[in-house]
Amino acid sequence: MTAEMSFTHLILQASWVVQLVMLLLLLISLASWTVIFRKRIALSHARRQADTFEDDFWSGVDLAALYTRVSRREDEAEGLEAVFLAGFQEFLRLRAQTGVDPESVVAGSQRAMRAALSRETDELELQLPVLATAASVSPYIGLFGTVWGIMNAFMGLGAAKTATLQQVAPGIAEALIATAIGLFAAIPAVIAYNRYSTEVDRLVNRYDTFAEEFSNILQRQAHSLRPRQPQAEVHGPA
């Protein structure tokens, strides 16, 4: 490629509208890659945390001891730990009240776990809309720059007395660079969004399954602590 047709020369010689489009696409691409790396780290941490907590939970440890250990940690609970803390804390609070039947205790724990699950789902889905937006709008922004550049190229060609390919090629080439940058910003965002959305759905299903299993455990404990009804005395014949 000659110096006159190099990418740097074409970008510098492009109209200010096309240059603005290219700059906007580069900023979108930078934001997308920032989200991609941060989300990769966050989801990996969430999977490791879920694996560790489930190993502790199903190891046969006493739930009260596990609750005390998790609640006393300095860092804030997240993921399965947050769902567990919310459910067991509500379970202990309702069980300590007098006159509360076991069904109400379990129902309150389930509501607390659903609220915690909703918060954790929002945390997992955080910044995913950035990738979705970048994937959907980047090609159109690049196409706008291409259309604008080609329009200027043909307008300049119409004003010239002689029309040659050498005159119109640089304008078309600089316009097509905008489309290329738009695809460069959109394709990684599409791939990352689809992959991360699948991973988030798997984690949410994992949290939801744990909440159901934990609810069954709490239900058994609540019914095992129900006071027995006094049996009627049976008198023999006089």
Answer whether residue 231 is part of any domain: no
Q: What pLDDT score was predicted for residue 155? A: 73
The amino acid occupying position 93 is R
For 204, the token pair is 């949410």
Q: Is residue 70 part of a domain?
A: yes
- Say what the pLDDT of residue 8 is: 72
Asked whether residue 100 is assigned to any structural domain, the reply reads yes
**Cβ-contact 212, 55 below 8 angstroms:** no
DSSP 156: H
End-to-end CA distance of the chain: 118
Residue range(s) defining the domain that contains residue 38:
3-224
The dihedral region occupied by 60, where left means phi > 0, alpha psi between -120 and 50, and beta the remainder, is left
Residue 165 belongs to a domain: yes
In a domain, 137, yes or no: yes
Q: Say how many C-beta atoms besides its own lie within 10 A of residue 166's C-beta.
A: 8
Q: How far apart are CA 49 and CA 79, in angstroms?
A: 7
> How many other CB atoms sit within 10 Å of the CB of residue 232?
6
Tell me how many domains the chain contains: 1
In a domain, 58, yes or no: yes
Asked if residue 233 is part of any domain, the answer here is: no
Q: Compute the distance between CA of residue 115 and CA of residue 128 in angstroms, rounded to an integer.
A: 21
C-alpha to C-alpha distance for 163 and 76, rounded to whole angstroms = 69
H-assigned helices in the chain: 7-13, 16-57, 63-71, 80-96, 102-124, 128-159, 165-224
Q: Is residue 126 part of a domain?
A: yes
Quote the pTM value: 0.80
pLDDT tens per residue across all 238 residues of the chain: 444 556 676 667 767 887 888 899 999 999 999 999 999 999 999 999 999 999 999 988 888 898 999 888 888 888 999 999 999 999 988 888 877 788 888 899 999 999 999 999 999 999 999 999 999 999 999 898 888 888 877 776 665 555 565 666 666 777 788 888 899 999 999 999 999 999 999 999 999 999 999 999 988 887 775 544 444 333 333 3
- Note the pLDDT of residue 238: 36
